[in-house]
Amino acid sequence: MIRSPLMTVMTDAVMKAARSLKRDYGEVENLQVSRKGPGDFVTAADRKAETILREALEKARPNYGFVMEEGGVVEGSDTSHRWFIDPLDGTTNFLHGIPQFCISVGLERDRQIVAGVIYDPVKDEMFIAERGAGAFLNNRRIRVAARRDVGDAVVACGIPQVGRGSHPRFLKELAMVMGSVAGVRRMGSAALDMAYVACGRQDAYWERDVQSYDIAAGIILVREAGGFVSNADGGPDPIAAGSVACGNEILHKELLDLVKAANR
């Protein structure tokens, strides 16, 4: 387990937000049957968790900037450091009472992601990584899967939301990938997909039209678990491109080749 002061700050902030999110998740089932529906309630839960995260991180590191799902970009006096915060990744799952969502916090230093925490409050699974210190799930060191044959691989993906991204392009990529792998999964949380690649539950993952705060923590998790991360076209900066592909060295390359072939 990583015992650094930075990781203590990050995990403490995430656990504070998680307590609030778990309480709100317990109310979702009741709200499903109301005429108004749970949408407004979930938006409030999202914002409340983000506020808790921001206040905790700001108290510990008062000069750092923020990139947040709800609050947008906030510049800090320390221009070398920025927090990337997604207080509820997997909002649609949360909204429908599906227990596949998480809190994601990544730290950027000089344009490089150097630490990340992804916490699944329903399963009580804490994924953490810090540059040079490895990646962990709770107290266990994790590594990406060792599979080498793409035909044996389970690959995760994300489907573009309506009005954002190209469904025809995605369908071409999906057809190419699903014809070559053992199975394709769409779980509904980009951060957890990357965490699952880091711990070997999924062999690879790709998605376009993702936000920086969705993938920041996952980038360092996968890399510290021995994996490779790029944008969906093989470029070096997923955050700038707004797309991601990851896996072990071999399956990452195989996935990129399939995606490229689909777009010829």
**What CATH number did the domain enclosing 219 receive?**
3.40.190.80
Check residue 152 and report its DSSP letter. G
Instruction: Specify the higher pLDDT residue, 132 or 27.
Output: 132
Average of per-residue pLDDT across 26-47: 68
Q: How many folded domains does the chain comprise?
A: 2
Q: Are residues 172 and 215 both part of a single domain?
A: yes
Give the distance, in angstroms, between the CA of residue 27 and the centroid of all CA atoms in the same chain.
24
Question: What six digits make up the tokens of 208?
Answer: 């376009």
Distance between CA atoms of 235 and 239, rounded to whole angstroms?
10
Range of the domain at 80: 5-141
Query: Binding site, residues?
Result: 69, 86, 88-89, 214
Domain boundary (114, 141, 168) is at 141
Average of per-residue pLDDT across 226-249: 98
Q: Are residues 235 and 258 both part of a single domain?
A: yes
Q: Which residues pair with 230 in a beta bridge?
A: 245
List Cβ<8 Å contacts ≥24 apart for 56-63: 56/9, 56/12, 56/13, 56/16, 56/17, 57/9, 57/10, 57/13, 57/83, 57/85, 57/105, 60/9, 60/13, 61/9
Average of per-residue pLDDT across 250-264: 98
Q: Are residues 22 and 135 both part of a single domain?
A: yes
Least confident of 32-36, 215-219, 224-228, 241-245: 32-36
Query: Binding site for Mg(2+), residues?
Result: 69, 86, 88-89, 214
